[in-house]
Every structure is written in C-alpha cells, then in structure tokens.
Amino acid sequence: MAVEVKMPQLGLTMEEGTVTKWLKHEGDAVKTGDVLLEITTDKLTSEVTSEVDGTLLKIVAQEGEDVPVKGILAYIGDANEKVEQKTQAQQAPAEVSAPKKDEKTKIAVIGGGPGGYVAAIRAAQLGGEVTLIEKNKLGGTCLNVGCIPTKVILHCAEALTEAKEMSQLGIDVDIKNVDWDRVQKKKISVTDQLVNGVTGLMKANKIKVIQATASFVSKNSLSVAKKDGTKETLSFDKIIIASGSVPAIPPITGIKENKNCVDSTAALAFEKIPKSLIVIGGGVIGIELATAYSQFGTEVTIVEAMPKLLPMMDAELTAQLRKMMEAKSIRIMTEAKVQSVEDCSIGVKVNVEIGGSITAFEAEKALVAVGRRTDTEDLHLEAAGISHDRGRIIVNDKMETNVEGIYAIGDCLGKVMLAHVASAQGEVAAENALGETALYDGKTNPSCVYTVPEFAGVGLTEEKAKEMGIAYEVGKFPLMANGKSLIMNGGIGTVKFIIAKEYKEVLGVHILGPRATDLIGECALAIGMEATVEDVIATIHAHPTVTEAVREAALAAEKRAIHIPNK
Ligand code: FAD
Ligand code: NAD
C-alpha cells in the first residue's frame, strides 16, 4: 500500500506549514532520506525527506498550499500502484485539531509555581477555560523561596565582593557596613514584583485563580478547601498537577528538634548574617548558599556524604570549583556522613563521620540541604487512581499520568527539580490537554549553579559519555586566554566540549566562568539542533566576549584552537 508523506511537526507550537518547493516530481524514483520538498513555517524553512524507497506516485499539496501538521503532502509506493487518496475529512488528524472556540475545555491546574502558572497560560492561549488552584502564593517555590530569592542574596553578596576588590581596578571605596535588613527588603521587593507580575498574567489570560488546597475526589473532580474553612467540589475535563516539592529533612538524630538547624527557606531569611554556618549537603542549594554567606563573612563548612560535590555536574570542572571555594576559606568535607546534631553554646554541633572516626563541627547555624521531596500528600492521588512511586507521580513524555485526562509536571515528578524544566513540561501538558501532540525532551535542559564564577552544563558530562560507552573527544579552553574573562574575573575558569568521535556532534558543554549560566543557552541550542562542532566553529562570535571561549573550546576539540597551543 502507498505510504503517506505528511506535514511534520517541527516545534511544539507548529500548527501548519506551507509547501514552498517540490524537489521531486510525480513518477520520480525516491530513496529513503531523499529530500522531497521544502516547507516553511512562520519560524523556519525545513526539508521533508522520504522515509521509504519507491516512486513518488501523487503530489497532494501543491506549492504555496498551507497544510496542517500531519496533513498529507504526497504518496510514495510501487511504480504501478494506484493511490486511494483520502478525503479532507479523513485526513484531518483528530489529535491535532484545536478545540472549537465555542466548546471550551475546562482545565484545572493545581499549583501556581513555574510549572503550574506556565501550563495555565498555555492552556488559556489554546482556548481552555482555566482555573488555577494555589494553596500558598503564586510563583511557587521558585519565586517565593527558591531561584529568585537565592539569586537576590547572591547578587548582593557578589556586589560586596566586587566593592571589596575594586581597588584592584584603581577605584578605592569605603565599605561602611552591610545592612542585612535592607538586603532582605531588596529580596522581598524583587519576589513581590515578580509574584504581582504572575497575578497580572493570570488576569490578562482570563485564568481564574482560587487560593485553596486542592485534593482529588474522583478522576475529574477536585475538593477545593479554602483557608477560611469553606470547601467546594469542582469538576473539570482535564487536570494538570503541578504541586511541586518541599525540603526533605533526613532522619538524623537531633535535626528536627534543633532550632538552629534550618532548611533553605529559613536560611534565606536569617534575622542576621550568621558568624558561622555548617551546610549539610553539597548539592546545588548548599553550594549556592555557601557561596552567598561566605562572601558576607560567614565562616562556612560544607559536609557532603558523596565523594564529589554537585553530583550532576562535570567532575573535572567541579574539582576546579572546589579548589576555588577552598581558596576563599570555605571548608569542604566530602565522604562525610552526618551522624547526629546537638545543641552547643554557639548554636549547633554536628557530629560527622569522616574516614571511620567522628569529628564534631560547631556553628551558629546549620543548613540542611540534602534534597527535596514531592508535595503530593494533600492531593489524595488514590481517589483518582493516579500511579506514583512514594509520592513521585509517574508520567510519560506527554506528561500524561496513568489516568486519562490527568497530567503532572515539574518537581512533583521527583526527577529533575528545576524551574525551566517545570515550565517546559507545563507547556507540553497544556498542549496535550488541549488536543495538540507535544512531547517533553530533556536533552537541551541546562543545569546552572550560581557560584563565583558561575557553573553551567548541558548534555552529557565526560563521566556519562564514558559510562555509556560513547567514543568521544574533549576540547578545552582556559579562560585565562580569553580577553573578556581576563577583564571580568582575572581569567578564572574553563569551557569544555564533549563531542562524538565519529560524526563530531556536540554531546555536552560545561562552562565554569563569568556568565556561564547565560553562555550555556547557545550550547543548549547546539545540542537541540544536533549541531556538529563544525557548526559552532562556523558561527562568528563577537569580540571581545566570553562567547569567543565557547568557539575556541570547539576549535580545541578539533585541535585547531587559535589562542592556546593544541596538544
Ligand atoms: P513549585 O514551584 O514548588 O510550585 C508548586 C506550587 O503548588 C506551590 O506554590 C504549592 O503551594 C502549590 N501546591 C502544592 N500542593 C497543592 C495543593 N494540593 N493545592 C493547591 N496548591 C498546591 N531551579 C532553577 O531552575 N534555578 C534555580 O536557580 C533554582 N534555585 C532554587 C533555589 C532554592 C533555594 C530552591 C529550594 C529551589 C530552587 N530551584 C531552582 C528549583 C525550583 O524552585 C523548582 O524546580 C521549581 O519551583 C519547581 O516548579 P513547580 O511548579 O514544579 O513547583
Ligand atoms: P541536591 O540533590 O542538589 O543535593 C543534595 C546533596 O546532599 C547531594 O550532594 C547529596 O549527596 C547530599 N546528601 C544527602 N544526604 C546527605 C547527608 N545525610 N549528609 C550529607 N550530605 C547528604 O539537593 P538540594 O541542594 O537540596 O537541591 C534540591 C533541588 O533544588 C535540586 O534538585 C536542584 O535541582 C534544585 N535547585 C536548583 C538550583 C539551580 O538550578 N541553580 C539551585 C538550588 C536548588
């Protein structure tokens, strides 16, 4: 039977494409991979290739015609075969048809964090009648007690360091004092402004916001309990769960009882800068808050159970970062397991097992940052029959749970707990809920750690490539040889490319250096577009910028770096 050539979906939001040029004609023999035609969308031009060997029997969509995603463009088959062409109605793919304007799909979103509020906006854009239920504050962890407040505190800490180091630039400044209350006020004003922005977005998109705790009554109804004690049951066509996560407190003797032993939320709101701080857990939260407080003059000790800090980051660059942190007087203990916590005269005593013996560390405060757990207890998932693994909701790559019409996204999946991942998954869930077909693919997801200098990575680490048995090559460029870095931070840091040996595609990029968290965007795009190292090299990077070091690291992978000797 003849095979249909269909309009591909080139992006999550693509609904149709225009046939710009046929490169094969009716009667032409075609091979798998031959380019049949060119199409354009409002964003890009692309080629459609044949997925089979055969003869191009019939062209259905002529040049200049607009065709919906999955609409039929042509048929390929045996030379003498007759084509049974589908009617327009048969062609219309049910899964991509948008809901009719007069039949609004009723969508509930549980949770107003970066997963939930983005899902709500996308669902409203696609014509859904959206209700968002949030038990606390819009913006979720990210805006209120996560990404944004940590970055405000870090920014203030970095400003202090810059001011202290300004004499190196010939500028003498007198630092009188750090007014911690004003640092806290700055944090609150930034988070408030962003939360108000989200409130405005809800209004602009006609999303109904209910301040209440939602729990399942059945697979399409929710009990919504407000703080004033009132309760109602509401029904929906589709439900997107975005209930996020809360700090995990490990079962270590004394931790829960000790008032000086706090989680990240409390550590962002200390009444005064602590003189000393023990950070339990050398993951992202621990490292970022250690970086912030040490710059404010706190004596910081990090206690990490594993042999390495920052488990998901490239080991070589993590080791470089560790040295830099130690050079700034942050004490770092790895393979160190906290046994118990007790009171002491200055605040808290943490007993740690290192190399078989117990060492006690004392500090004014201890931050417990050993990971987060999903916030799914209030949801009564069982009432709807939603599958989960100890509170971590199980979904497929369309963000669908096992129950039709119920989706879950973000931290409540208990996998990659990042704001941009929650938002990306939110768009996917909303699109699927409103009749489109979208898949979540985490391969372009960058990991960023806001240290000094910044640390970011995307794609495979060298360790992962090795573990997967992939033949790879490494290209490295030290920032000491990059003019802009030299100006900005004395040239501290490295850019590292991991490329596949055979076809030279970019597998991973890792950057330790100034603005690494911004630079990683280009690298994520390269991975998303399956670029080769040559594509990066062929792109002209502006001078003087740190981005030049990204291209130089790509050149180094090909042993043709310009500003360092090639080994
Ligand atoms: P959340 O933001 O947790 O939002 C979930 C919302 O659901 C909450 O507002 C909650 O009140 C609500 N909710 C829960 N249950 C119910 C219910 N039953 N009914 C109604 N409402 C409910 N990520 C980054 O990408 N970059 C960073 O720099 C970064 N820094 C961080 C720093 C810290 C200190 C922390 C703690 C986290 C940080 N994260 C960062 C992680 C990021 O905050 C989360 O990954 C992100 O907020 C997850 O979004 P979410 O929408 O899935 O969940
Ligand atoms: P994490 O998973 O990043 O790190 C926890 C660390 O604690 C690990 O290194 C682990 O080995 C260690 N640990 C666990 N038990 C321990 C124990 N008993 N003693 C000593 N060490 C122990 O978790 P986190 O730092 O709490 O962060 C939670 C989530 O928030 C992360 O998943 C992260 O994605 C997200 N986050 C992201 C950013 C960012 O993107 N910049 C910033 C902060 C937080």
> Is-contact 314 402, C-beta < 8 A?
no
Verify whether ligand 2 is closer than 6 Å to residue 281 (CB atom): yes
* CA within 13 Å, CB half, 269: 9
Looking at ligand 2, which atom is closest to the CA of residue 287?
25
CA distance 240 to 44: 31
> Is-contact 449 455, C-beta < 8 A?
yes
Verify whether ligand 2 is closer than 6 Å to residue 370 (CB atom): yes
> Is-contact 422 411, C-beta < 8 A?
yes
Which protein residue's CA is at the shortest distance from atom 3 of ligand 2? 283
Q: CA gyration radius for the chain?
A: 27
409 CA → ligand 1 middle, Å: 11
Which protein residue's CA is at the shortest distance from atom 14 of ligand 1? 243
- According to DSSP, residue 99 is labeled P
Q: What is the pLDDT along the chain (567 residues), one digit of tens a residue?
A: 789 999 998 765 677 888 989 999 999 999 999 999 999 876 677 889 999 999 999 999 999 898 998 899 999 999 888 887 765 555 544 444 444 445 799 999 999 999 999 999 999 999 999 999 999 999 999 999 999 999 999 999 999 999 999 999 999 999 999 999 999 999 999 999 999 999 999 999 999 999 999 999 999 999 999 999 999 999 999 999 999 999 999 999 999 999 999 999 999 999 999 999 999 999 999 999 999 999 999 999 999 999 999 999 999 999 999 999 999 999 999 999 999 999 999 999 999 999 999 999 999 999 999 999 999 999 999 999 999 999 999 999 999 999 999 999 999 999 999 999 999 999 999 999 999 999 999 999 999 999 999 999 999 999 999 999 999 999 999 999 999 999 999 999 999 999 999 999 999 999 999 999 999 999 999 999 999 999 999 999 999 999 999 999 999 999 999 999 998
pTM reported for the whole predicted model = 0.85
Looking at ligand 1, which atom is closest to the CA of residue 246?
3
> Is-contact 283 372, C-beta < 8 A?
no
- Three-class secondary structure of residue 183 per DSSP: helix
Encoded tokens for 290: 């250690």
- Three-class secondary structure of residue 211 per DSSP: strand
Find the helix packing angle between 147-165 and 284-295, rounded to 10°.
40
Q: Which helix (H) or strand (E) holds 3?
A: strand 3-6
Residue among 249, 310, 353, 417 whose CB has most ligand 2 atoms within 8 A, to mutate: 417
Find the helix packing angle between 116-125 and 419-433, rounded to 10°.
30
Verify whether ligand 2 is closer than 6 Å to residue 449 (CB atom): yes
Burial class of residue 144 (count of CB atoms within 10 Å of its CB; 0-12, 13-18, 19+): buried
Q: Dihedrals φ, ψ of 543, to 5°? A: -120, 140
Looking at ligand 2, which atom is closest to the CA of residue 419?
40
List active site positions.
Answer: 543
Which protein residue's CA is at the shortest distance from atom 46 of ligand 1? 419
The percent of the chain in helix, strand and coil, each rounded to the nearest 5, is 30, 30, 40
Distance of CA 418 to the CA centre of its chain: 5
Verify whether ligand 2 is closer than 6 Å to residue 287 (CB atom): no
